[in-house]
Amino acid sequence: CPCGSGKKFKHCHGALA
Protein backbone atom coordinates (compact mmCIF):
# COMPACT_ATOMS: atom_id res chain seq x y z
CA CYS A 1 0.00 0.00 0.00
CA PRO A 2 1.17 3.58 -0.69
CA CYS A 3 3.00 5.64 1.94
CA GLY A 4 0.84 8.74 2.11
CA SER A 5 0.32 11.41 4.75
CA GLY A 6 -3.02 9.85 5.69
CA LYS A 7 -3.49 8.11 9.05
CA LYS A 8 -4.34 4.76 7.43
CA PHE A 9 -1.26 4.96 5.20
CA LYS A 10 1.17 6.00 7.93
CA HIS A 11 1.94 2.38 8.90
CA CYS A 12 2.48 1.33 5.29
CA HIS A 13 6.23 1.01 4.71
CA GLY A 14 8.71 -1.48 3.26
CA ALA A 15 8.91 -3.44 0.02
CA LEU A 16 5.92 -5.62 0.95
CA ALA A 17 3.82 -2.57 1.69
Give me the pLDDT at residue 14, please.
63
Give me the pLDDT at residue 15, please.
60
Give me the pLDDT at residue 1, please.
60
Query: pLDDT by residue (tens digit) across 1-17?
Result: 666 666 666 666 666 65
CA separation for the pair 17, 6 (Å, rounded): 15
User: How many separate helices (H) and strands (E) can be counted in the chain?
Assistant: 0, 0
